[in-house]
Amino acid sequence: MEMFLSSLFSLMSPGPFLLVLIASAVGIVLGAIPGLSGGLGVALMLPVTFGMDPHLGLAMLISIWVGGVSGAMVGSILLGIPGSPSAIATCFDGYPMTKNGQAVKALGAAITASFMGTFFSILIATFLSPVIADLALKLGPWEYFSLGFCAIALVAALSRENVFKGLAAAAIGLLLSSVGFAPIDGFPRFAFGNYYLNGGFDLISLMLGLFAIKQIVTDYARGQKELPPVDMRNITGFGVSLKEYLENAVNLVRSFLIGLWIGFLPGMGAALSNMVAYAQAKSSSKHPEKFGKGCVDGVFASEISNNASVGGSLIPMVALGIPGDGTTAILLGGLMIHGIQPGPLLFTNNPDIVFTLFATAIFAAILVLLQQYFGMRLFPMILKIPYHYLYPVIIVLGFVGVYVSSSTTFNFVLLLAFAALGFLMDMVKLPTSPFILSFILGPMLELNMRKGFTYTDQGIWPFFTRPISALLLASAVLSIVWPYIKDYLRKHHGSKVNR
Amino acid sequence: MNDKRLGFIILALGIAGILLTMQIPVKTFTDDPGPRVFPYLGSIILVISGLGLILTRQKSTEDTEHFLTREGWKRAGIMTLLFIIYSLALKIVGFYIATPVMVFFFYRQIAGPEKTVLLRGIIYSLVTFGAVYFVFSKVLNSFLPPGMIF
């Protein structure tokens, strides 16, 4: 607690304060603009942290992320176009409210719900993560391998269209993560004599290729659409009464818990939680017919749940070293680049880093609340920033970013190659989340897998005979095959009924 | 591309992965399975995924021919070409020349002829170049691409 408070107070000195303020504002802008996101901002700013103190660098990345998740509601409410998938459900009632002349009320509800979601989820993460990390210290390499494998399988199983596409993307990530020196024996693999590949593929080039360069090519190829004008007259206050908050108390608590839990599960971040929370709010409401026509309950549900996923996804990232979603995967990569190993030992080896992370998230949530409240009038201007001013900056930051990470122009080749890979994956509808997760977790998986083999004389068997490991592997297999079993059972049951 | 055709490509990638992995010389000690085991795991998952895509009947999905229009492919090609030129320019003439020039071209290309304002574009390019130079070189003390000929 003492360390948490000391981290929080250190953020109030002028330098860190200004950094968190600017970074969270950048996050809001990136989150608000359709097609961009806080995740993109985190990827772009990752190379900037190389020359910074790790605490400050991490504070900057976390602030962009918090601002990005919160800012995504701006486009949803004012234009009916979500800034990112985390605010899709906010469109359902937020935009009708704007059309009904209640833009301020919708924005007010979204801003306060976003704050509550981030603030309380981070508080819970601060107290829960050390407990989970303590438990995780009792796990051996078998359980760690199975945990990582289960996380990848869960993400693959969630692939929208086809579980095999998710699995294929994960397998490509695993294969690419094996390029370079192998763990334990340091044997070089798949480098084909290329000196630059001996250390494996550069993580920054992969992130910026997949998140920034590919996105720009795709958006430019599809053509940027002019966003419609926004009427924002008579903006004062939050527009939501205390009575409305109290009437939504159950809705807020339920949606918060949904967001926290979904954020905690690997691969299921804010993009899913807002939809689930919205559906639950509608089905439990006394007036479900009002949903979709401008009901503030829907905005509350969506916005508190997507922001609660922030704290939820930080718990496995910090305590177990398993990222909850794409953005936490980048953050995890950022920690590793600074020589910090996420996982249960983080609390013993770098407690200052852990508490900086939590303290910044809380501090950024407060600053985002204030910036959004006082800057509400500027929201339409954010949505008017032309893409021809945004994209060239992102391109330059992408190219310079991959160069400064290792001072080699070979990274330009990797940047373009990963952008091409991402483009191809989009084209054939292979999901990128399992790919990134496998690429980042690959070295940890391999190390624990090989340790697991060598720690006993029983070879592969402890992976299946140790209870937790067996349970995790069974969950991984079940998550992959369950849709097919369900289909079979439905058909079988259906045919019996027909007979 | 339909799922079956994608399945065959993924299957071929998996088999190629297995063949490449077989060429890694085995150096193991004690019970360590060695550097081959993990790439084998990845390749086998690829093979299973490829077979899964080939053998399972999937709901018809949107054809990838609609991923981009003909004009869209042309625009993607132009942007890719600009990226390649920027990469080469950074390598050959370095950040100080390549960046202001290429930022202007990126601006002009994305804005299109109707929205391009020459003077505004030049000022924007110089400001972007200056800001990136200041942050990376002066504030963070990072090395920027110096180029080969200067």
Q: Between B25, B58, B141, which is nearest A162 by CB?
A: B58
Nearest one of A315, A199, A218, A209 to A260, comparing CA atoms: A315
Same domain, yes or no: B34 and B72: no
Average pLDDT over residues A2-17: 84
Q: Quote ipTM for the complex.
A: 0.93
Residue A113 has pLDDT above 70, yes or no: yes
When divided into structural domains, chain B yields a total of: 2
Residue A272 has pLDDT above 80, yes or no: no
**Is A222 near chain B, with CB under 8 Å?**
yes
A325 φ, ψ (degrees, to nearest 5): -150, -175
Residue A268 has pLDDT above 80, yes or no: no
Same domain, yes or no: B149 and B77: yes
pLDDT tens string B3-19 = 889 999 999 999 999 99
Residue-by-residue DSSP string for A258-297: HHHHHHHSTT--HHHHHHHHHHHHHHH-S-GGGTTSS-HH
User: Residue B142: which domain range?
Assistant: 68-150
Same domain, yes or no: B72 and B120: yes
Same domain, yes or no: B106 and B123: yes
pLDDT tens string A43-82 = 888 888 877 888 888 899 999 999 988 888 888 888 787 7
Output the pLDDT for position A237: 62
Same domain, yes or no: B7 and B72: no
Distance CA A213, CA A77 (A): 28
Same domain, yes or no: B85 and B148: yes
A454 contact residues in B (CB cutoff 8 A): 30-32
pLDDT tens string A457-471 = 888 899 999 999 999
Nearest one of A411, A363, A266 to A59, comparing CA atoms: A363
Output the pLDDT for position A416: 96
Decide if A132 contacts A319 (C-beta within 8 A): yes
pLDDT band with cut points at 50, 70 and 90 for residue A422? very high
Estimate the share of chain B in helix, then strand, then coil, as percent rounded to the nearest 5. Answer: 70, 0, 30
Same domain, yes or no: B26 and B46: yes
Same domain, yes or no: B45 and B7: yes
Same domain, yes or no: B27 and B80: no
**Is A217 near chain B, with CB under 8 Å?**
yes
Whether residues B38 and A442 touch (CB distance < 8 A) is answered with yes
Whether residues B79 and A221 touch (CB distance < 8 A) is answered with yes
Last residue of a domain, one of B50, B65, B80: B65
Q: Which of B49, B107, B144 to mutate to test the interface with A (most CBs of A within 10 A)?
A: B49
Same domain, yes or no: B84 and B142: yes
Average pLDDT over residues A4-18: 85
Last residue of a domain, one of B65, B86, B111: B65
Q: Which residue has the tokens 């991959």?
A: A402
Angle between the N-to-C axes of helices A249-264 and A103-136, in degrees from 0 to 180, rounded to the nearest 10: 40
Same domain, yes or no: B58 and B78: no
Residue A408 has pLDDT above 60, yes or no: yes
pLDDT tens string B78-125 = 999 999 999 999 999 999 999 999 999 999 999 988 888 899 999 999
Considering only alpha carbons, which residue of chain B is nearest residue A411?
B87
Whether residues B142 and A404 touch (CB distance < 8 A) is answered with yes
pLDDT tens string A207-245 = 889 888 998 999 899 886 666 666 655 555 667 888 888
Averaged confidence pLDDT in chain A: 86
B19 contact residues in A (CB cutoff 8 A): none
Output the pLDDT for position B20: 94
Last residue of a domain, one of B39, B65, B91: B65
Within 144-183 of A, beta carbons closer than 8 Å to B belong to 161-165, 167-168, 170-172, 174-175, 178, 182
Same domain, yes or no: B78 and B58: no
Decide if A47 contacts A204 (C-beta within 8 A): yes
Q: Between B42, B76, B87, which is nearest A175 by CB?
A: B42
Average pLDDT over residues B144-149: 88
Output the pLDDT for position B116: 82
Beta bridge partners of A188: A181
